[in-house]
Amino acid sequence: MLFSAPPNDVEALVFGLQMTVVRLSPPDKTGAREAWFEYHCMECGGYQITIPDDPTDASPVTCTACGRLFGTFGAVKALGRNLARAASVRG
């Protein structure tokens, strides 16, 4: 399974990467919000991800500590957007 989300809708897993929304900015004039995430590698417990400079949606996202491949930047980005949207709806 590519994505799995627990009941609270603010964290999810993508290929062994747990992402949790830890903060949302207030909405700007257009209603857009910024989100900050906490990352956790389910293999080694690492908390940092590595993304290449100037990534494309096909670029790999890996654990900085152990090198585990979590998937593509596009998949991680999409998951982040979905989590931020769900957290925004929750308040």
pTM of the shown model = 0.78
The arithmetic mean of pLDDT across residues 45-56, rounded, is: 96
Going by pLDDT thresholds of 50, 70 and 90, the confidence category of residue 89 is: confident
The end-to-end CA distance of the chain, in Å, is 28
The arithmetic mean of pLDDT across residues 11-35, rounded, is: 85
Q: Is the pLDDT of residue 4 over 70?
A: no
Going by pLDDT thresholds of 50, 70 and 90, the confidence category of residue 31 is: confident
φ, ψ at 90 (rounded to 5°): -70, -20
